[in-house]
Amino acid sequence: MNQDSPSPLGGGQPRYLLLAQALMDDIKAARYPLDSLLPTEHELCQQFGVSRHTVREAIRRLCDLGLIHKQHGIGSRVKAVEVAARYVQAHADITDLHQYVRDVRLDIHGINDISADAELAQWLECQPGQEWLCVSGLRFREGDQLPLAFTHAYIARAYRSVAEDLGDGREPIYALIERRFDLRVTDVRQDISAVLIDAADAQRLHVTPGSAGLRIIRRYYGHNQELLEVAVSLHPGERFSYSFSQHLKWQGAAS
């Protein structure tokens, strides 16, 4: 398996994210002005000491953010110096998920004990009537005036005391559960569906009723597949897109 050689891109984040951030900084500093071309893949590999896979993934992230446009046979051309208003949630693993939640804050509107009705029980994978703690609020990206999502986070009753640790809404709830109860999230599962935003949610999100949205239901499991938290987020389609990548590891043919 090929691995990146030692490079100046240290730190805990994946190298492609660090490379993408370095190129974003260069674009903002006008090292690469509007309509100019970024260095070639080969040049970036040599400059940062990383693999072609790392460079291609970083370039893809900048394309998703609207900063560059990749032209076949020409290269990657700078088309903007500021990230577009749309937020691109891009995941390769749970580290990226943690980073996404840290990129936004949860402006908490309510904390309530609820009893799951039949529809909610399906989302929470429980029996109707089971009690959960519901934390609801709007998610904002740093510096934005318009909300990125309206979220209901449902916390299993055994862990409801985590509400004491919510603070300013900048730390992921699942991470607070891990720390408070000395356990680890082992699996995260997601369901994504297209929906029409109703009048009440449209008012919260500052969009037109009936406009397109994305509902993401994210379930966090601990040891023995215990469901710890279910986060249900409604995103305006015009402000949000979702990108997911997986790296496939191929084993050699058996002799």
Residue 156 has pLDDT above 90, yes or no: yes
Pick the CATH number of 87-243 from 3.40.50.261, 3.40.50.170, 2.60.60.20, 3.40.1410.10: 3.40.1410.10
For the segment 209-213, the average pLDDT, to the nearest whole number, is 88
Q: Quick check: 99 pLDDT over 60? A: no
Q: So what's the pLDDT on residue 139?
A: 92
Q: What is the pLDDT of residue 245?
A: 55
pTM flag (> 0.85): no
Q: Class of 15-78 per CATH?
A: mainly alpha
What pLDDT sits at residue 166? Answer: 92
Give dist(CA 84, CA 26) in Å, integer.
17
- Looking at this protein, which amino acid is placed at residue 19? L
Burial class (CB within 10 angstroms; exposed 0-12, middle 13-18, buried 19+) of 75:
middle
For the chain, the structural domain boundaries read: 15-78, 87-243
> Concatenated DSSP letters for 176-241?
HHHHHHT----EEEEEEEEEE--HHHHHHHTS-TT-EEEEEEEEEE-GGG-EEEEEEEEEEGGGEE
Of 245 and 30, which is predicted with more confidence? 30
Domain 15-78 matches domain 87-243 at the CATH topology level: no
Give residue 247's pLDDT.
Answer: 53
Whether the pLDDT of residue 228 is over 90: the answer is: yes
Return the half-sphere exposure (C-beta side, CA atoms, 13 A cut-off) of residue 2: 8
Residue 9: CB atoms within 10 A of its CB come to: 20
